Structure 1
Amino acid sequence: MSQAERDTLRQGAESLGCPLDDGQLDRLLAYRDLIARWNQVYNLTAVRDPAQMLTQHLLDSLAIVTPLRAHTGGAATRVLDVGSGGGLPGVVLAITAPELQVVCVDAVAKKATFIRQVAAELGLPNLQARHSRVEQLREPGFDVITSRAFASLVDFTTLTRHLIAPQGCWLAMKGPQVEAELAELADADPTVQVLAREPLEVPGLGAQRCLVWLRPAG
């Protein structure tokens, strides 16, 4: 890792309201390097350039840390990352917010194996992985269920509803298609309440991003 990469990541995180200490910087860049190494054998991500991973993976995932912490107030929180793939955003959350207990679930065994390896190599006791289809997963309720590139809002909420805690919520990272998905969700399931939408400005990404907060009504 170069000093320029450290500076890019540090400055980007600061602009997102998520300052990183040296240990977190080291772990995030080591995680990026693990993705790049495993990607040579396993298809963890379509992004192959390690420099692009800084923006498209690490900073994009870091964008939700501050909103999530504002929601939880820094309290111990169980988070489920659905369709986590190579651990985005779950691994980034585990590194930057140690008060979170993060479980990453993916239907592809090699991706769950990779996340377990990341937890072991980077010393992340608050990070776990499950190899399962999310609709078949059976665990105590999660305070926050998040996804980055898993499915439409209808499928996301439908497939994970049995996993949400009584006072829990969904946190979906979305792009320009969010208006159509919200309209589809309102028609398909009026029992899902939209709590808030937050625009995200990811440094260097140049793409429209937002967070959508949802919860079961009633």
Structure 2
Amino acid sequence: MLALPEHLRAPAERLFGDRLELAQRFTDLLAEQGVERGLIGPREVERLWERHIINCALLSDAIPEDAASLADVGSGAGLPGVVIAIARPDLPVTLIETMQRRATWLEEVDAELDLGLEVVRARAEELHGDRDFAVVTARAVAALDKLAKWTMPLVADGGSLIAMKGSSAEDELDAAQKVLRRLGGDEGTVLRCGEGEVDLPTTVVHVRRRARATRKGDPRG
């Protein structure tokens, strides 16, 4: 078992509540299988809790309490989608992943942890016009201007794109303004979730989608 570091116990208990054991089980699955299955690098195992599990769980602080649905685009190892599903059992979560081996992993995790996930093997743009969600999340998928073209058409009217970013968040948001406006987004804000609670706060870009905005994105290429 990959033990939860003591300095992260308080935020973990706040974020996961009585589902912390589920978070532990998911962390152990990643630690045991993630490297072999090409989901994480070898050096990530020892820092799974801090750099990945808690980092992703903090994203739930940016998700409206009354959100009706969430899609995680490019879910990969289940970061952040599976973590959010554990932290927010009230929220129906759809994981969108293009690669078969990763989609299979996500289905296995869902079966093992009984999370009630929907796993969709597709590119985000293949769902344009067919599906929409109150919240769309993404982590380490693409620069924001490109990511917005794939994800904003999936955001329901009045919903939100919440993209996990690093130190380049402000610069990416500035560079994406034209694309965001065209796709019906507001100017967006940069949030740092967990400041004062953890050493490594989670930086996210939050973009709200205006009602009756265009749903026409761009194909990937």
Q: TM-score, normalised by structure 1?
A: 0.84
Residue of structure 1 equivalent to 2:166: 175
Q: Which has the higher strand share?
A: 1
Question: Which residue among 191, 211, 219 is the counterpart of 1:198?
Answer: 191
Per-residue deviation at 1:50?
A: 3.3
Shift of 1:58: 0.5
Q: CA 1:134 to 1:156, structure 2 compared with 1: closer, same or farther past 3 Å? A: same
Aligned-residue offset at 1:144: 0.3
Partner amino acid for 2:10? Q
Say if 1:110 and 1:8 are closer, same or farther in 2 by CA, change over 3 A.
farther
| 1:28 equivalenced with 2:18 (yes/no) | no
Q: Which residue of 1 aligns with 2:124?
A: 134
Say if 2:5 is the partner of 1:10.
Answer: no
Residue identity (%): 31
TM-score for the superposition, normalised by structure 2: 0.83
Give the equivalent residue in structure 2 for 1:63.
Answer: 58
* Contact kept in structure 2, 1:194 and 1:213, CA below 8 Å: no
Kindly provide the CA deviation profile for residues 13-38 of structure 1, in whole angstroms up to 9, marking residues without a partner as x.
Answer: 25xx52522xx121111111111222
Separation in structure 2 between the aligned mates of residue 137 and residue 106 of structure 1, nearest angstrom: 12
The code of the aligned residue for 1:110 comes to: R
Could you tell me which runs of 5 or more consecutive residues in structure 2 were left unpaired when the two chains were aligned: 212-221
Matched, 1:114 2:105: yes
* Equivalent residue runs for 1:125-164 within 5 Å: 125=116, 127-137=117-127, 139-164=130-155
1:25 maps to amino acid:
L
Q: 1:212 aligns with which of 205, 213, 216?
A: 205
Paired amino acid for 1:131: R
**Native 8 Å contact 1:78 1:101 kept in 2:** yes
Structure-2 residue corresponding to 1:51 = 46
The unaligned stretches of length 5 or more in structure 1 are none
Whether the 8 Å CA contact 2:188–2:206 is kept in 1: the answer is yes
Partners in 1 of 2:209 and 2:118 — Cα distance?
26
Structure 1: which 4+ aligned runs deviate by more than 6 Å? Answer: none
**Mapped contact 1:105–1:134 kept (Cα < 8 A):** yes
Contact persistence 2:166–2:203 (CA under 8 A): yes
CA offset digits 1:108-155 (Å, max 9, x no partner): 111111111111111111x12111111113542100001121111111
Q: Which amino acid aligns with 2:205?
A: V
Cα offsets for 1:30-56 (capped at 9, x unmatched):
111111222243110125453310111
Partner amino acid, structure 2, of 1:10: R
State the superposition RMSD in angstroms: 2.3
Go from structure 1 to structure 2 and tell me whether the alpha carbon gap of 1:79 and 1:147 turns closer, same or farther (over 3 Å shift): same
**How many equivalent pairs are there?**
206
Aligned equivalent of 1:37: 32
Shift of 1:194: 2.7
